[in-house]
A and B are shown apart, each in its own frame.
Chain A
Amino acid sequence: MKKSIFLKILVIFLAVAFLAGFSTIAVAKKIKVGGLNDTTGATSDVGKDYAIGMAEAFKYINSQGGVNGKKIKYVWFDYGYRIPEAITKYKLLKRLGNIAIMGWGTGDTEALSPTVNKDKIPYVSASYSAHLTDPKKTPYNLFFSSDYSTNARSAITAWFDKKWPKHKDFGKRKPRFACVYMFASPYGSAPIKAIKDQAKLLGFEIGPDQDVSLFAIDTKSQVMALKPFKPDLLWHGNTTMSVAATVRDAYALGLGTDWIINNWGFDENLPRLAGKAAEGVMGATPCAFFGQNYKNMDLVVSSAQLYNPGVPVGKRLIRTVQAWGDALVLWEAMKRADKKGVDLTKKGCGPAIMKEGFETMRNFDIGLGAAPISFTATDHRPATGCLIQEWKGGKFQTVEAVDLKKRWPKLWATKWLGW
């Protein structure tokens, strides 16, 4: 009898203790999303702003209730742009139960792609390499932006449409074109085949490529090597610092060429670093610059102020906006999948996020000056063209919004996927 009373009391006591004591720390399961960023390595000139922008985007998303009321736990690491470290950190993020990963560079994203396919984890990267857009090969790789090859094809097309007709030699000869990039960089080399293909399509004469390191601050030898070819147009495929160095040296040495730049080399820091030499430089802008007047930009700017008050707003870049682009597209995919009953707190939900989330998007508008986004089970090119802008008169101005699919529908559909 005594034992029975004791047990009853114990049960009541434990129940009270549990209800009162632990109820305040009872936590709903969160959706785990991981991140790999470069805040200390070879691309930290653009990677730091992206990393903090991504964290801000997830804080904003949680402030809006997360994914249909379920909060996201976003954990990210700096991997210093080192592929072995990216692989190690990816494995850690997987072990921690992350159901999607926000990745960074082309080298590591492409290196991780077979593992990502095997693990079936949606991998939303800051690498926009076209090699990641064919679901037959890379079914779990995604990003919000036009891919590098689309950027490159759009940029050379915009120059051909808008600048070449104003040239004194227009109609007299072929325009001369060459590429400048770091040969050993997977990011730099990713769109080279495509842009040369586009150059041939448009009737350019193609000159010799120049190898410029991502760390270059002196590129005079490469500029001098280009002089005999007398290029009318050069593509630069690096990030901002070495792009600025090359543009400056070309200006100082009187190369007299126009520039088109891939998106990671074309940002608010370019005119700060290149000065007068940046005048007229054109670049691929898959989304608006930080603070430009576009839908949802107010959220980006206010979140930057709220969540990172230590970083002056004047120092923020388009990289933050790009981070938001990837975060918003994942958010939408997760919301759609969740509504279809997919449990996003459980490992192994990747295929369902793809099928019920990403691959249901058709012309989805995230704002931020980005093109409408579509993913299908057979085509992961998010956008069919790119807005090309130039730095002119102290501000970024539109040159042309090129839509490759509209212009070359057959080539777009049958030839250009995946490279």
Chain B
Amino acid sequence: MKKKLVLMTVLIFGLSVALISCVTTPVKPTNKNFIAPKVTLAGFEVPQYDGYWYFSSKVKPTKGKAGNRGSMLPLSFLFNVQNENPYPILLNGMIFTVVFDKEFSLVTYNNQDEYWIPAGKTDQIRATTLITARSALLSLLVTGGFKLKAKGWSPWKALETWWKGVPDGTTPINITECSFSFEADGVSKIYPYEIQAQ
């Protein structure tokens, strides 16, 4: 009986080791052999559109409290992240700024979620930002006030144009100051990307 038990244990152990060796990466990640993943945009959409509107705090709402509030504009970006490495890599951070009309930074997106991308595979990662006409107004005034003035644009006109032009596909949208962070077995890499969304 004992002999049987020993044999079975050895067999199971051997099988386990064999199985593990099958799934273990044959190539160890190093700084030298790490291939920069290709990041491209698979799609861009406004997942929920509520038109363009703005109420100042002087307007009494039907329900709830008055405040300076504007319609939201969610922007959803679907990225293809292609891992050409012969080992899995961990995407553990991405940051980018969304720019309207080539020069107006409206939102900086940051995400530190973790996604494993298998060796030689392409994964899709979705990043959704949310701005409102109110938040965009404030951001625009402090970061783009002089640029608007130089162009002779009023901030309200710019917002209305974008709130209508973004879902229509007529407002140029760029992803700038973008970087994705990756890790593989202790090797960390961060790569910059510039992407035109529309």
Contact surface of A with B, Cβ cutoff 8 Å: 1, 5, 8-9, 12-13, 16-17, 20-21, 39-45, 48, 51-52, 55, 75-76, 78, 80-82, 214-215, 217, 239, 241-242, 244-245, 273, 306-311
Given contacts A12-B9, A16-B12, A217-B146, A39 and B138 within 8 Å (CB-CB):
no
Q: Which of B12, B17, B96, B143 has the most CB of A within 10 A?
A: B143
CA distance A75 to B4 in the complex (A): 54
Contact of B12 among A9, A42, A239 (CB under 8 A): A9
Contact surface of B with A, Cβ cutoff 8 Å: 1, 4-5, 8-9, 12-13, 16-17, 20, 95-97, 105-108, 110, 112, 131, 135-136, 138-139, 141-143, 145-146, 148-149, 176-179, 181, 190-194
Beta-carbon contact of B145 and A81 below 8 Å? no
Beta-carbon contact of A310 and B142 below 8 Å? no
11 residue pairs of the A-B complex, CB under 8 angstroms, read A5-B1, A9-B9, A13-B12, A16-B17, A78-B107, A78-B108, A215-B141, A217-B146, A309-B191, A310-B179, A310-B194
Given contacts A40-B108, A44-B139, A241-B143, A310 and B192 within 8 Å (CB-CB):
yes
User: Min CB distance, B64 to chain A, in Å?
Assistant: 13
Beta-carbon contact of A308 and B95 below 8 Å? yes
Beta-carbon contact of B16 and A310 below 8 Å? no
Beta-carbon contact of A306 and B190 below 8 Å? yes
CA distance A12 to B16 in the complex (A): 11
The interface residues of chain A lying within 8 Å CB-to-CB of B106 are 40
Given contacts A13-B16, A51-B110, A308 and B138 within 8 Å (CB-CB):
no
The interface residues of chain A lying within 8 Å CB-to-CB of B138 are 40-42, 44, 80-81, 215
The interface residues of chain B lying within 8 Å CB-to-CB of A5 are 1, 4-5, 8
CA distance A78 to B13 in the complex (A): 50
User: Min CB distance, A77 to chain B, in Å?
Assistant: 8
CA distance A214 to B141 in the complex (A): 9
Given contacts A16-B13, A39-B110, A217 and B143 within 8 Å (CB-CB):
no
**Which 9 A-B residue pairings sit nearest by Cβ, starting from the closest?**
A215-B141, A310-B192, A39-B108, A217-B145, A45-B142, A309-B192, A310-B179, A42-B138, A16-B16
CA distance A2 to B177 in the complex (A): 65
The interface residues of chain B lying within 8 Å CB-to-CB of A48 are 97, 105, 108
Beta-carbon contact of B107 and A214 below 8 Å? no
Given contacts A20-B17, A309-B190, A55 and B110 within 8 Å (CB-CB):
yes
Q: Which of B5, B13, B177, B178 has the most CB of A within 10 A?
A: B177
**Sample of 17 more A-B contacts, CB < 8 Å, known A16-B13, A217-B148:** A5-B5, A8-B5, A8-B9, A9-B5, A16-B16, A40-B131, A42-B142, A43-B142, A44-B138, A48-B105, A52-B108, A80-B135, A80-B138, A241-B142, A306-B190, A310-B177, A310-B193
Beta-carbon contact of A310 and B176 below 8 Å? yes
The interface residues of chain A lying within 8 Å CB-to-CB of B17 are 16, 20
Q: Which residue of A lies closest to B21 (CB)?
A: A20
The interface residues of chain B lying within 8 Å CB-to-CB of A217 are 141, 145-146, 148-149
The interface residues of chain A lying within 8 Å CB-to-CB of B5 are 5, 8-9
Q: Which residue of A lies closest to B194 (CB)?
A: A310
The interface residues of chain B lying within 8 Å CB-to-CB of A241 are 141-143, 145-146
Given contacts A12-B9, A52-B95, A80-B135, A273 and B146 within 8 Å (CB-CB):
yes
Q: Which residue of B lies closest to A274 (CB)?
A: B146
Beta-carbon contact of A45 and B143 below 8 Å? yes
Beta-carbon contact of A44 and B142 below 8 Å? yes
CA distance A239 to B193 in the complex (A): 30
Given contacts A17-B16, A309-B190, A215 and B145 within 8 Å (CB-CB):
yes
Beta-carbon contact of B179 and A308 below 8 Å? yes
Contact of A21 among B1, B20, B96, B131 (CB under 8 A): B20
The interface residues of chain A lying within 8 Å CB-to-CB of B95 are 52, 55, 308, 310
CA distance A55 to B95 in the complex (A): 11
User: Min CB distance, B178 to chain A, in Å?
Assistant: 5
CA distance A239 to B143 in the complex (A): 11
User: Min CB distance, B198 to chain A, in Å?
Assistant: 20
Contact of A39 among B107, B136, B181, B190 (CB under 8 A): B107
CA distance A308 to B110 in the complex (A): 12
Beta-carbon contact of A308 and B16 below 8 Å? no
User: Min CB distance, B59 to chain A, in Å?
Assistant: 19
The interface residues of chain A lying within 8 Å CB-to-CB of B193 are 310
The interface residues of chain B lying within 8 Å CB-to-CB of A55 are 95, 110
Given contacts A45-B142, A241-B143, A273-B146, A1 and B1 within 8 Å (CB-CB):
yes
The interface residues of chain B lying within 8 Å CB-to-CB of A52 are 95, 108
Contact of B139 among A8, A12, A40 (CB under 8 A): A40
The interface residues of chain A lying within 8 Å CB-to-CB of B179 are 307-311
User: Min CB distance, A182 to chain B, in Å?
Assistant: 12
CA distance A311 to B145 in the complex (A): 21
CA distance A242 to B143 in the complex (A): 10
CA distance A244 to B141 in the complex (A): 13
The interface residues of chain A lying within 8 Å CB-to-CB of B146 are 217, 241, 244-245, 273
Given contacts A40-B131, A44-B139, A239-B142, A307 and B190 within 8 Å (CB-CB):
yes
Q: Which residue of B lies closest to A74 (CB)?
A: B112
Beta-carbon contact of A75 and B112 below 8 Å? yes
Beta-carbon contact of B8 and A9 below 8 Å? yes
The interface residues of chain A lying within 8 Å CB-to-CB of B178 are 310
The interface residues of chain B lying within 8 Å CB-to-CB of A273 are 146
Beta-carbon contact of B110 and A78 below 8 Å? yes
User: Min CB distance, B109 to chain A, in Å?
Assistant: 8
User: Min CB distance, A4 to chain B, in Å?
Assistant: 9
Contact of A308 among B1, B131, B145, B177 (CB under 8 A): B177
